[in-house]
Structure 1
Amino acid sequence: MTEVAGDPPSETGGEKTQLRVGRLVKAHGLKGAIKLELYTDDPEGRFVPGAVFTLQVPESSPWHGKPLTVREFRWMNSHAVAFFEGVEDRDAAEELIRAILWIDQDPAVVPVEEDAWFDHQLVGLDAVRDGQIIGRVIRVEHFPAQDLLVIRTESDDEVLVPFVKAIVPEVDVSQGRVILTPPAGLLEELVDSDDSGSEEAETPADQS
């Protein structure tokens, strides 16, 4: 999946939708450059000089609550690399590793990129496996490694499903559903357990 929108990572007041577009993964060189893991199909458009990001970092980080502004974006050996204002050396770059980058997004604007959705578009969709509705998406959790769909099942359990193409091959907002093809075991609590009970019922009792 690519860009996914959600709630802002910090309390800023007012209603706001933000779009997650990248993660800082590794310091590059000695002049403050940082390699990016991209969550957008338009990096040149998102990382233009002067673009300002909200940072998702731990509260203990010196960058907590501060914006991050792009100074330069380039490709180095097929890797996306960016320079940011106030990040002048490798030590400063290391302080930002694993930070997630968010930008403000008008909630009325629908993403135009393929495989890009806002949280509010996903919440409420039926979760369908093998043609059967097994639950409903109640929220989206955003983590550095990946996003997770939180699905409330018919039995009122919550199941975390990695929001990746292999497991969620189709999102059909117009039809109100997401199609799931989970690996064995991921949703095993949903398997009908009545078989074991009926098997016992069919077993004749010993009569002597």
Structure 2
Amino acid sequence: MKNHVCLGVVTGSYGVRGEVRVKSFCAEPSAIGDYGPLTLDDGSVRKLTIVRPVKGGYAVRLAGVPHKEAAEALRGQRLWAHRDALPAPDEDEYYHSDLIGLTVLDTGGVELGRVHAIHDHGAGDLLEVRPRRGASILLPFTREAVPTVDIATGRIVADPPHGLRPGEGDDGSES
């Protein structure tokens, strides 16, 4: 969705009164209820009210969801806020949606690929960079590995750690 940022996803129903279980992607997870009505992937716009924290997220009430079956039908729907409703990111902070699709160049100007996704497995963000050919690389999203992010030009300059450059073997030799 253009001009929207994904704040979370419906992971299933919760209880029998139409509440849904939501996983929040917000830096402060409970802030998912602070941005006004959210747009779902299906295009519907719904007011979200957090009911209580639950394991893996929050039980929430979405306006217009009257029962468990309707809640279950929303499983997998992402929750989007209009970009204007969100605070501007601080310096050296980015919304994931701003990074997806950017061209990644190494420090010598050679294109490594494009950012396909951002993953966080608990030790910090990883940029999944997909080259034109070959396997994706997972690049640590640190100042050391990614010294320059230029949203305006659509480019990232990366200095991948040893062993992560495409074609580079574990021993540093070219494959």
TM-score by length of 2: 0.64
Aligned match of 1:168 in 126, 130, 140?
140
The structure having more radius of gyration, on CA atoms, is 1
Aligned to 1:51: 36
- Bigger mean CA deviation after superposition, 118-127 or 38-47: 118-127
Q: Following superposition of structure 1 onto structure 2, how do residues 95-174 of structure 1 map, counting pairs within 5 Å? A: 95-106=73-84, 110-112=88-90, 116-121=94-99, 123-126=102-105, 135-141=111-117, 149-152=128-131, 156-157=132-133, 159-161=135-137, 167-170=139-142, 171-174=146-149
Query: Structure 1 CA distance, aligned partners of 2:161 and 2:134?
Result: 17
Residue 69 of structure 1 pairs with residue 47 of structure 2 = yes
Confirm or deny: 8 A CA contact 1:19 1:104 kept in the other structure: yes
- Residues 1-51 of structure 1 show CA distances to partners (whole Å, capped at 9, x for unaligned) of xxxxxxx1xxxxxxx421111111121111111112221112333313x82
- Structure-1-length-normalised TM-score: 0.55
Partners of 1:195 and 1:174 lie apart in 2 by 27
Q: Which residue of 2 aligns with 1:60?
A: none
Question: Displacement, 1:151?
Answer: 3.1
Which secondary structure state, in structure 1, belongs to the residue aligned with residue 81 of structure 2?
Answer: strand
Deviations 1:141-160 (A, max 9, x none): 589xxx973433xxx42643
Structure 1 residues 174 and 116: alpha-carbon distance in aligned structure 2, compared to 1, 3 A threshold: closer
Distance in 2 (alpha carbons) for counterparts of 1:98 and 1:30: 18
Residues in 2 aligned to 1:35 and 1:17: alpha-carbon distance in whole angstroms: 25
Count residues in correspondence: 157
Distance 1:161 1:54 in 2: 32
Q: Distance in 2 between matches of 1:66 and 1:51?
A: 14
Aligned partners of 1:133, 1:43: CA distance in 2, in Å?
38
Unmatched 5+ stretches in structure 1: 1-7, 9-15, 57-63, 197-208
Q: Which amino acid aligns with 2:37?
A: V
Residues 24, 32 of structure 2: 8 Å contact kept: no
Please provide the CA RMSD for this pair. 4.1
